Amino acid sequence: MASTQTSQSLAAKVQMNVLPDDTLFGIAPTMFGVRSKAEKICRTNVPVLLCGEGGTGKEALARWIHSKSEFAMGEFVKVNCAAIPSALLESELFGYEKGAFTGANLVKPGRVEKAHQGTLFLDEIADLDWNLQSKLLHFLQDGTFSRIGDQGERRVECRLICSTNKDMEKETAEGRFRQDLLYRIQVFRLTMPPLRERKEDIPSLAEHFRQQFEKQFELKSFAFPPEMLVYLKSLPWLGNIRELSNGIARYVLLGPEASLHQENTGRRDRASEGEAERAKRLPLKRIAKDVIHEMEKKVILESLRANQWNRRKTAQELKISYRALIYKIRDAGLVSRRAALQQQGREIRPSE
């Protein structure tokens, strides 16, 4: 497949979202095996299955493997098999021809084609519908597939990385996942340990996120006192690295008083309950509400910052009443950098 992009811009793209080796793998002994295996397999073109609880860094590892592979100059194409309804997933993955079904007014290449000479990352592979499992198996056997409504076969060469937080042996034993497909996708299997089994990495990960969020929110925060690092290491982190990242975001935004352990509170009682299982039981409405809430918070924060925290101007810009804005600011726990620093009893330096 021809590409008009310069090698320079491609190289920049490859670097996008790829964590440095030491940040990704850390120093915890539980990561040694993952690192040495990953370093070996990244240079081969065999399918890899990444396992591990939610938020342990499976996608981060997939991007890293892609960046080190011979397909690094191609695209990293992610498809979340759980997020796209099965009825749409086939056309999303394999594309369709004009007139293939009602509404198919144009030819649409699928994501598999987009991944030609790159990496196809199938996230949450266990949720792939049974029929699509067969089509994927066919593709893996000889690299060919057909767009929906197309008689002809197309050939794509790409690297395949799949990820799951499910027990794949159970999925096959209970008839939800094809055994033959599992053999194909897991020529190599890498399992990311949960954060509670790589506690040695918590201080450096926390510091990594603190610096990241300081930049993102344009805020300064306190360096972590040693006792806080001890405390962080003592938490169960059922949401793993993602949960730690969220905790540090609150720390940077709201200061040490912010509930760093907010997501942990009450979770100790549910320590045996899988994060993914719990997340799955969340009603869709609740998930959508949370996402909208987060986005709203981000927009308000950006607008407040653009208007130097002038709330009247911000309300005008956002086309909501002043009262509504005040309510939303309180509800979202947003504070200005000045207020945050004052809350922390810290002087504002002239350069800040």
Ligand X SMILES: Nc1ncnc2c1ncn2[C@@H]1O[C@H](COP(=O)(O)OP(=O)(O)OP(=O)(O)O)[C@@H](O)[C@H]1O
* Chain positions contacting Mg ion, by CB under 5 A: 59
Place of tokens 């499910």: 166
CA 248 distance to own-chain centroid:
17
Report the distance separating Cα 75 and Cα 121, nearest Å.
Answer: 10
Instruction: Give the CB-nearest residue to ligand X.
Output: 57
Residue 241 touches which of Mg ion, ligand X, none (Cβ within 5-8 Å per kind)? ligand X
3-state secondary structure at position 304: helix
Report the distance separating Cα 178 and Cα 44, nearest Å.
Answer: 25
Residue 72 touches which of ligand X, Mg ion, none (Cβ within 5-8 Å per kind)? none
Place of tokens 């997501």: 263
Q: How far is the CB of 67 from ligand X (least distance, A)?
A: 14
Q: How far is the CB of 216 from ligand X (least distance, A)?
A: 12
Evaluated on CA atoms 309, 313, 316, 322, the torsion sign reads positive
Consecutive H or E run containing 215: helix 202-217
Residue 243 touches which of Mg ion, ligand X, none (Cβ within 5-8 Å per kind)? none
Residue of 333, 351, 349 whose CA lies nearest to 341: 349
Consecutive H or E run containing 164: strand 159-164
Residue 165 touches which of Mg ion, ligand X, none (Cβ within 5-8 Å per kind)? ligand X
Report the distance separating Cα 307 and Cα 112, nearest Å.
Answer: 44
| Closest CB to ligand X among residues 82, 148 | 82
| Closest CB to Mg ion among residues 194, 203 | 194
| Closest CB to ligand X among residues 11, 83 | 83
Q: How far is the CB of 9 from Mg ion (least distance, A)?
A: 26
Report the distance separating Cα 28 and Cα 35, nearest Å.
Answer: 11
Q: How far is the CB of 265 from ligand X (least distance, A)?
A: 20
Evaluated on CA atoms 331, 298, 215, 245, the torsion sign reads positive
| Closest CB to ligand X among residues 57, 74 | 57
Q: How far is the CB of 228 from ligand X (least distance, A)?
A: 18
Q: At what angle do helices 284-306 and 311-318 cross, to 10 degrees?
A: 130
> Which residues are at the interface with ligand X (CB under 6 A)?
19, 23-24, 52, 54-60, 165, 205, 208, 241-242, 245
| Closest CB to ligand X among residues 2, 16 | 16
Q: How far is the CB of 201 from ligand X (least distance, A)?
A: 7
Report the distance separating Cα 136 and Cα 73, nearest Å.
Answer: 24
3-state secondary structure at position 30: helix
Residue 116 touches which of ligand X, Mg ion, none (Cβ within 5-8 Å per kind)? none
Residue 110 touches which of Mg ion, ligand X, none (Cβ within 5-8 Å per kind)? none
| Closest CB to Mg ion among residues 252, 275 | 275
Q: How far is the CB of 127 from ligand X (least distance, A)?
A: 12
Q: At what angle do helices 226-234 and 202-217 cross, to 10 degrees?
A: 110
Question: Encoding tokens for residue 135?
Answer: 């089509």
Residue 132 touches which of Mg ion, ligand X, none (Cβ within 5-8 Å per kind)? none
* Bridge partners for 144 per DSSP: 155
Residue 245 touches which of ligand X, Mg ion, none (Cβ within 5-8 Å per kind)? ligand X
| Closest CB to ligand X among residues 59, 127 | 59
| Closest CB to Mg ion among residues 59, 243 | 59
